[in-house]
C-alpha cells in the first residue's frame, strides 16, 4: 500500500489539500488561497509549513513520522544550486574550479539569512560540475561532471562533506534530477543523446533511455536511423504525486536545439517560424518516450526596421521546471530573418521629432562623432534577434498550451516599463539569456535567473500556466549586483541557478542564487525583492576563491563576463537586448541560420577558433572569411546588439565615446581592430582606447574546449571512418589540429592588409596542380589573398580573404525538407543576392570539424539536417564529399550505407582528444595557398 507524504503540515494552508489526489493532479500544482504568495511586500502571504520538523543532524530522519518513506516535497529538478528539504543546507557547483561548496544556512528572526561556508569539496580539476540535486533526507548531493562525464555523490552534508560513490554516465552530462524518493538519479547526456538511470544506493546503471531513437521517430531529422548525438537532451525535471512510488511519475527532458518543421520559403519569409522546440516525456514506469512540440511565436513583440512583425522559435532550451500539471520551459527564442542591426539614415534633423517624422519604427536622433552630421538611427532590429521565452506543456494531455507561451522581452517592455513610464535607460532590464526557473512551493509564483542581465525576474502564472504578471510593485527585477554593493565580494554576476526555500521562515521566503563570474551565492528576500540584508550587510557567501588578480585565469573570467553580458556597453542602452552568448551559448553554437549582411549564415562554434595546443594558431573568421580577429566583432556589438561597444576613448557609456574604427582604416580586413582596441596604443592614436575587454574575450575563447565525443561509438566503425576520411582527401580542407586548414597567416596591419590585395597565389596553385574546381577564383587577376573590389550592393561588400575559401558546391543547395525545391534562399538581410558564389570569391571558409557532434544542421546555411544527409546519394551534395576524390561513395545499397555510417561515426568521434590528421602540402590533394606578403606559403 502506498504511503502518503509525511510532510502533512506543509500544505495545511492550501485550498487543494485533498482534491488533487482525487483528481490525479500533482502536489506541486496546489495554489494557496492567496493570489500572490511569495512574501512579496503588500501580498497576503503564504501561511507556512509548520508541520516540517527541520533537519536532524546526521540521523537522516528529519521527517516527523518515524518510519515514513522519505519523499521530496514537490517536483524535482537539478540546478547549479540546490537546497535541502529543510532549507538548512545548500550545495553550489563551481564550474570553473571543479568543486562543490556546501553552505550552512540559518534564518535568524527578523534578519537576513546567514550563509556559512561549511566545506568546499574537490571533484577533480577540470571536471566541470554542472548541476546538483540533494536527496530527500538531506544527507547526499548528486553532482554531474560535464567534462569528466560522471555522476558523483557527496556524502554527509550535515557532518563532514566528502566525495562518495561515482559512476561514468555518458558524454557531456548537463543535468541531474532525482526521483521523488531519491532512489533513482536521472542524468541527461547532452552529446550522447541519452538519459541514464542510476540506482542511488548501489550506484549502478539501471537503464539507458535512448532519445536519439525518439527524435528519429518524429521524422523531423529525415530518414535516419538512431545513433549517438542525434538528440541533445539538456535539462530534466520529475513530477511528484506525493506517494512513495517512483514508478508512476513523468520525467520531462528538453531537447536543446530546435528542429525544422517546415521548409524555408524561397524568400526566407518564414525563417522565424519554420522550426519547433521539443520536449520528451518519459514514463518512469516503462521508460517509454513521447514527444511534445513547442510552437514558434508568430510575434516576438517587436517589429523590425521595415515595420514587419518578427517571430521566433524556441531554441537553446535552457531549463524545465514542473509546477502542478505543467512543465515550464525557458528558451532562447531565435528570430533569424533579417534585417539585423540598426539602420542609419542621414537626414537634416535637429531634434528627435525630426527623426520620428521620417517614419522610422523606433528612431533616435544622434550625433555619431564631434562635428559630424546628425543622423536618424532606427534601433528596432536590435530587439528582434533573440528573446527569452517561456513555453508551457500540459503533462496530462501531453500537448503544449500554445496560448501560454510568452516573450519575456515583450512582457517586461510593454507591461512593466512602458506601463510604468520607466525611463528608457539602464533602469530597464530584460531577462537576457534566462537560464533557470523555480517556483515558490505551493504557489503560482516563479522566479527566473538571467545570466546576461545579473538579475532574477518574478512572474505570476495564470491557471493555464501562462505567465500573466511580471515583476513586483515598484520592483521590475531583483538586481543581484546593485550599485553600491561591493562587486568584488558581494555582487552577483553571471547567475547560473536558483533554489527557493521549501519552507517559510518567520513569514518570509528566500531564494539562493549562484553566480559563476563572482563565484558566490546571494540570498534574495522576496519581501524586499532585493538581495537580503541590503547594501550594508548583504547575505552573500563566497563559495570558492576568486582568480588571482592579473592572472590569466582572471582575464578569462572577465572575458567570459563580457562575452555573456548584455549590460553596460554590451547592448542597446545596457538593457540586455543581446550578447555574444545569445548565439553562442557556452561559447559554442545555437545552430541557427541568421540572415546577415553577407547572406544566410549558421552560427559557428567558437571552440575551433584557436588551436588548443597552440594559442597563436587562429582560424580566419566567419563563413566568408571577412574578419581576422575577434575584436572585429565590436561592430556586431554596436550593430546587432546596439551597444556602445568596448573600443572607446572614454569609459563613460555614451556613443560619442566610440572610436570610429572604419575612419581609422581598421574595420574588418582593412587593418587591425585589435591594435585600435589595445590601451597600450601601439598605433599612437591621438585618442587611444581605454579598455582591455576584447583582449580578455579573446583569452576566454582561447580557453574553450570542444564537446567530447559520444561514449559508445563502435571502435571498428570509427577506425573504418578514419580510413575513409583519409582516403577521400578530406584533410585537404579539414586537416590540422583545428580540423580546418583555415589559418590567420599574417599579422594584421593597414600596410600588410593592403598588400594582401596584390599578393598573388596564381603561380603557386598552378605549379602544385591544385584542383581547379576547388579554386575560389579562376581569373589570374582575381587570384589574390584578399579581394575587396566594390560591387553593385555596396562598396567593399566582397571584402574577404579569398585564399581561405574553397568551392565545394554548397551554395544554395539543401535537403528538400529544409528548403523549397531543395534550394536554400541565398539572400542577404536586405534581400539582395548573397555572397559566396562570385567568380572572384566562390566558396566558403572551411569550418572546423570540432563540435560536429552538436553542430547540426550543417553547411553555411544549415541546409542539411544530419551528417547522413550530408553524404546522401544526391548530386546536390556530391560536389562536397567528392571534392578531392571523384569516385568517393560511388557504391550503392548496403555497401554505400556502411561506409556512410562509418564516416559519420568518425566525425562524431572528432574532439580535442582525437589524434588529428595533418593537412597535405599544397597539391592535388588540397592544402593551403595563403601567404603573407613577402612570406612563405603555409606549412600545410
Among the residue ranges 29-38, 551-560, 568-577, 626-635, the one predicted with the least confidence is: 29-38
Q: 842-895 pLDDT, tens per residue?
A: 999 999 999 999 999 999 999 999 999 999 998 899 999 999 999 999 999 999
Which three-class secondary structure string do you get for 350-384?
Answer: CCHHHHHCCCCCCEEEECCCCCCCCEEEECHHHHC
pLDDT at 645: 97
Q: Which residue has the higher pLDDT, 354 or 322?
A: 322
Among the residue ranges 168-172, 222-226, 342-346, 600-604, the one predicted with the least confidence is: 342-346
Mean pLDDT score, 553-578: 97
Residue 315 to residue 169: CA distance in whole angstroms = 25
- CA 255 to each of CA 14, 223, 229, 695, 826: distance values in angstroms, whole numbers, following the listed order: 34, 19, 12, 34, 28
Confidence label for 5 from pLDDT (cuts 50, 70 and 90): very low
Residue 722 to residue 420: CA distance in whole angstroms = 62
Cell 583555415 locates to 742
Confidence label for 372 from pLDDT (cuts 50, 70 and 90): low
Q: Please say if the pLDDT value at position 67 is more than 50.
A: no
Mean pLDDT score, 91-114: 97
Distance between the two ends of the chain, CA-based, in angstroms?
A: 71
Confidence label for 786 from pLDDT (cuts 50, 70 and 90): very high
Q: 581-599 pLDDT, tens per residue?
A: 999 999 999 999 999 999 9
pLDDT at 380: 82
Nearest-10 crossing angle of helices 893-909, 715-727: 100
Q: Please say if the pLDDT value at position 437 is more than 90.
A: yes
Cα angle: 437, vertex 443, 444; to 5 degrees = 60
CB 36 within 8 A of CB 102: no
CB 521 within 8 A of CB 513: yes
Burial of 932 (0-12, 13-18, 19+ CB in 10 A): middle
Among the residue ranges 177-181, 220-224, 381-385, 896-900, the one predicted with the least confidence is: 381-385
pLDDT at 375: 64
Q: Which residue has the higher pLDDT, 367 or 183?
A: 183
Q: Are strands 129-134 and 467-470 parallel, antiparallel or unpaired?
A: unpaired
Q: Taking Cα atoms as reference points, which of 469, 461, 437, 440 lies closest to residue 450? A: 437
pLDDT at 591: 98
Among the residue ranges 124-138, 172-186, 376-390, the one predicted with the least confidence is: 376-390
pLDDT at 261: 98
Burial of 550 (0-12, 13-18, 19+ CB in 10 A): exposed
What are 405's three cell numbers? Answer: 507561451
Among the residue ranges 8-12, 134-138, 698-702, the one predicted with the least confidence is: 8-12
* DSSP single-letter state for residue 415: I
Q: Please say if the pLDDT value at position 800 is more than 60.
A: yes
CA 721, 724, 726, 728 torsion-angle sign: negative
CB 505 within 8 A of CB 432: no
DSSP string, 41-90: TTS------TT-----GGGS--SSSTTPPP--SS-EE-BSEEE-TTSSEE
Cell 547560473 locates to 496
Residue 782 to residue 806: CA distance in whole angstroms = 14
Q: Please say if the pLDDT value at position 449 is more than 90.
A: yes
Residue 760 to residue 753: CA distance in whole angstroms = 13
112: left (phi over 0), alpha (psi -120 to 50) or beta: beta
Q: Please say if the pLDDT value at position 571 is more than 60.
A: yes
Q: Which residue has the higher pLDDT, 156 or 7?
A: 156
pLDDT at 300: 94
SS3 content of the chain, % helix, strand, coil (to 5): 20, 25, 55
Among the residue ranges 10-14, 320-324, 650-654, the one predicted with the least confidence is: 10-14
Q: 202-234 pLDDT, tens per residue?
A: 999 999 999 999 999 999 999 999 999 999 999
Q: Which residue has the higher pLDDT, 299 or 371?
A: 299
pLDDT at 61: 31
pLDDT at 69: 58
pLDDT at 304: 84
| Strands (DSSP E) found in 835-936 | 837-838, 841-842
pLDDT at 343: 73
pLDDT at 338: 83
Q: Please say if the pLDDT value at position 52 is more than 60.
A: no
Q: Please say if the pLDDT value at position 21 is more than 80.
A: no
Residues 6+ apart with CB under 8 A from 30: 11, 14, 15, 16, 17, 20, 324, 442
Q: 374-384 pLDDT, tens per residue?
A: 666 778 889 99
Confidence label for 351 from pLDDT (cuts 50, 70 and 90): very low
pLDDT at 37: 54
Q: Please say if the pLDDT value at position 93 is more than 50.
A: yes
pLDDT at 796: 52
Mean pLDDT score, 151-171: 98
Mean pLDDT score, 690-707: 98
pLDDT at 490: 87
Please enumerate, as own/partner, the contacts of 662-666 that have beta carbons within 8 Å and a separation of 24 or more: 665/750, 666/750
DSSP string, 574-623: GB-S--GGGTSGGGS----EEEETTEEEEPPPGGGSEETTEEEEEPPBTT
**Mean pLDDT score of the chain, rounded to an integer?**
89
Q: Which residue has the higher pLDDT, 623 or 28?
A: 623
pLDDT at 935: 86
Q: 845-859 pLDDT, tens per residue?
A: 999 999 999 999 999
CB 298 within 8 A of CB 311: yes
Mean pLDDT score, 32-45: 43
Nearest-10 crossing angle of helices 693-703, 552-564: 100
Alpha helices by DSSP H, listed for 640-727, are 673-677, 693-703, 715-727
Question: What percent of the chain has a predicted confidence (pLDDT) above 70?
Answer: 88
Among the residue ranges 11-25, 118-132, 785-799, the one predicted with the least confidence is: 11-25
In sequence order, what are the beta bridge partners of 102?
A: 91, 119
**SS3 of residue 119 by DSSP:** strand
Mean pLDDT score, 749-778: 96
pLDDT at 487: 75
Q: Please say if the pLDDT value at position 556 is more than 90.
A: yes
Amino acid at each position: 500500500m502506498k504511503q502518503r507524504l509525511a510532510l502533512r503540515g506543509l500544505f495545511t494552508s492550501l485550498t487543494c489539500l485533498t482534491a488533487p489526489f482525487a483528481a490525479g493532479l500533482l502536489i506541486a500544482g496546489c495554489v494557496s488561497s492567496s493570489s500572490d504568495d511569495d512574501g512579496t511586500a503588500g501580498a497576503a502571504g503564504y501561511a507556512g509549513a509548520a508541520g516540517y520538523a527541520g533537519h536532524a543532524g546526521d540521523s537522516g530522519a528529519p521527517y516527523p513520522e518515524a518510519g515514513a518513506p522519505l519523499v521530496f516535497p514537490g517536483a524535482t529538478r537539478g540546478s547549479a544550486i540546490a537546497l535541502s528539504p529543510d532549507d538548512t543546507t545548500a550545495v553550489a557547483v563551481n564550474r570553473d574550479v571543479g568543486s562543490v561548496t556546501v553552505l550552512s544556512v540559518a534564518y535568524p528572526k527578523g534578519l537576513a539569512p546567514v550563509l556559512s561556508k561549511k566545506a568546499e569539496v574537490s571533484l577533480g580539476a577540470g571536471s566541470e560540475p554542472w548541476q546538483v540535486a540533494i536527496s530527500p533526507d538531506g544527507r547526499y548531493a548528486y553532482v554531474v561532471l560535464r567534462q569528466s562525464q560522471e555522476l558523483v555523490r557527496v556524502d554527509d552534508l550535515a557532518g563532514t562533506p566528502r566525495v562518495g560513490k561515482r559512476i561514468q554516465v555518458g558524454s557531456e552530462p548537463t543535468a541531474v534530477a532525482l526521483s521523488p524518493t531519491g532512489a533513482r538519479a536521472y542524468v541527461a547526456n547532452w552529446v550522447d543523446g541519452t538519459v541514464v538511470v542510476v540506482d542511488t544506493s548501489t550506484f549502478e546503471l539501471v537503464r539507458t533511455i535512448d532519445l536519439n531513437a525518439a527524435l528519429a521517430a518524429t521524422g523531423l531529422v529525415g530518414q535516419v536511423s538512431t545513433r549517438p548525438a542525434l538528440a541533445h537532451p539538456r535539462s530534466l525535471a520529475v513530477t511528484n504525486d506525493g506517494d512513495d512510488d517512483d514508478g508512476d511519475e513523468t520525467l520531462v527532458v528538453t531537447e536543446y536545439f530546435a528542429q525544422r518543421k517546415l521548409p524555408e520559403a524561397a524568400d526566407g519569409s518564414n525563417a522565424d517560424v519554420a522550426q519547433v522546440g521539443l520536449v520528451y516525456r518519459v514514463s518512469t514506469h516503462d521508460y517509454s518516450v513521447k514527444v511534445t512540440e513547442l510552437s514558434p511565436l508568430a510575434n516576438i513583440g517587436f517589429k523590425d526596421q521595415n515595420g514587419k512583425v518578427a517571430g521566433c522559435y524556441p531554441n537553446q532550451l535552457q531549463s524545465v521546471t514542473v509546477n502542478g500539471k505543467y512543465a515550464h520551459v525557458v528558451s532562447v527564442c531565435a528570430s533569424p530573418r533579417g534585417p539585423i542591426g540598426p539602420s542609419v539614415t542621414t537626414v537634416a534633423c535637429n531634434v528627435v521629432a525630426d527623426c520620428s517624422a521620417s517614419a522610422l519604427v523606433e528612431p533616435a536622433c544622434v550625433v555619431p562623432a564631434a562635428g559630424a552630421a546628425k543622423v536618424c538611427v532606427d534601433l528596432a532590429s536590435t530587439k528582434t534577434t533573440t528573446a527569452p521565452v517561456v513555453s508551457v506543456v500540459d503533462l496530462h494531455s501531453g500537448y503544449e498550451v500554445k496560448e501560454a507561451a510568452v516573450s519575456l522581452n515583450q512582457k517586461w517592455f510593454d507591461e512593466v516599463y512602458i506601463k510604468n513610464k520607466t525611463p528608457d535607460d539602464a533602469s530597464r532590464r530584460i531577462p537576457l539569456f534566462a537560464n533557470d526557473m523555480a517556483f515558490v512551493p505551493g504557489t503560482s509564483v516563479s522566479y527566473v535567473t538571467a545570466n546576461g542581465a545579473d538579475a532574477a525576474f518574478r512572474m505570476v502564472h495564470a491557471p493555464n500556466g501562462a505567465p500573466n504578471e511580471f515583476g513586483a510593485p515598484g520592483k521590475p527585477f531583483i538586481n543581484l549586483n546593485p550599485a553600491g554593493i561591493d562587486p568584488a565580494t558581494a555582487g552577483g554576476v553571471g547567475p547560473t541557478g536558483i533554489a527557493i526555500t521549501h519552507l517559510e521562515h518567520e513569514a518570509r521566503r528566500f531564494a539562493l542564487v549562484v553566480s559563476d563570474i563572482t563565484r558566490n551565492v546571494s540570498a534574495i528576500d522576496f519581501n524586499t525583492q532585493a538581495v537580503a540584508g541590503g547594501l550594508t550587510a548583504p547575505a552573500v557567501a563566497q563559495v570558492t576563491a576568486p582568480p588571482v588578480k592579473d592572472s590569466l585565469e582572471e582575464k578569462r573570467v572577465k572575458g567570459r563576463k563580457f562575452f555573456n553580458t548584455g549590460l553596460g556597453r554590451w547592448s542597446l542602452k545596457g538593457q540586455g537586448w543581446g550578447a555574444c552568448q545569445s548565439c553562442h551559448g557556452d561559447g559554442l553554437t545555437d545552430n541557427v541560420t541568421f540572415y546577415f549582411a553577407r547572406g544566410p549564415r549558421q552560427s559557428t562554434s567558437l571552440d575551433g577558433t584557436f588551436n588548443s595546443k597552440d594559442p597563436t594558431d587562429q582560424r580566419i573568421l566567419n563563413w566568408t572569411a571577412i574578419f581576422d580577429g575577434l575584436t572585429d566583432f565590436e561592430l556586431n556589438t554596436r550593430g546587432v546588439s546596439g551597444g556602445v561597444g568596448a573600443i572607446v576613448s572614454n569609459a563613460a557609456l555614451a556613443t560619442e565615446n566610440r572610436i570610429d574604427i572604419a575612419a581609422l582604416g581598421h574595420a574588418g580586413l582593412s587593418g587591425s581592430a585589435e591594435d585600435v582596441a589595445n590601451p597600450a596604443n601601439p598605433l599612437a592614436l591621438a585618442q587611444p582606447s581605454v579598455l582591455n575587454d576584447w583582449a580578455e574575450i579573446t583569452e576566454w575563447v582561447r580557453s574553450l574546449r570542444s564537446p567530447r565525443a559520444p561514449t559508445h561509438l563502435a571502435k571498428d566503425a570509427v577506425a573504418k571512418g578514419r580510413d575513409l576520411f583519409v582516403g577521400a582527401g578530406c584533410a585537404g580542407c579539414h586537416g590540422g589540429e583545428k580540423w580546418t586548414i583555415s589559418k590567420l597567416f599574417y599579422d594584421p596591419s593597414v600596410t600588410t592588409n593592403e598588400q594582401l590585395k596584390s599578393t598573388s597565389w596564381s603561380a603557386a596553385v598552378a605549379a602544385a596542380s591544385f584542383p581547379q574546381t576547388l579554386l575560389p577564383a579562376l581569373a589570374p587577376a582575381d587570384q589574390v589573398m584578399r579581394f575587396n573590389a566594390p560591387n553593385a550592393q555596396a562598396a567593399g561588400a566582397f571584402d574577404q580573404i579569398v585564399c581561405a575559401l574553397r568551392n565545394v558546391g554548397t551554395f544554395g543547395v539543401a535537403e528538400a525538407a529544409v528548403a523549397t525545391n531543395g534550394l536554400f534562399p541565398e539572400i542577404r538581410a536586405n534581400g539582395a543576392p548573397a555572397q559566396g558564389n562570385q567568380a572572384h570569391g566562390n566558396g566558403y571558409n572551411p569550418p572546423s570539424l570540432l563540435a560536429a557532434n552538436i553542430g547540426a544542421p550543417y553547411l553555411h546555411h544549415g541546409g542539411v539536417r544530419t551528417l547522413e544527409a550530408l553524404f546522401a546519394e544526391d548530386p546536390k551534395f556530391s560536389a562536397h564529399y567528392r571534392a578531392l576524390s571523384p569516385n568517393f561513395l560511388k557504391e550503392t545499397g548496403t555497401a554505400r550505407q556502411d561506409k556512410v555510417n562509418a564516416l559519420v561515426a568518425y566525425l562524431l568521434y572528432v574532439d580535442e582528444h582525437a589524434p588529428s590528421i595533418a593537412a597535405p602540402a599544397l597539391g592535388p590533394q588540397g592544402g593551403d595557398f595563403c601567404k603573407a606578403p613577402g612570406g612563405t606559403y603555409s606549412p600545410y
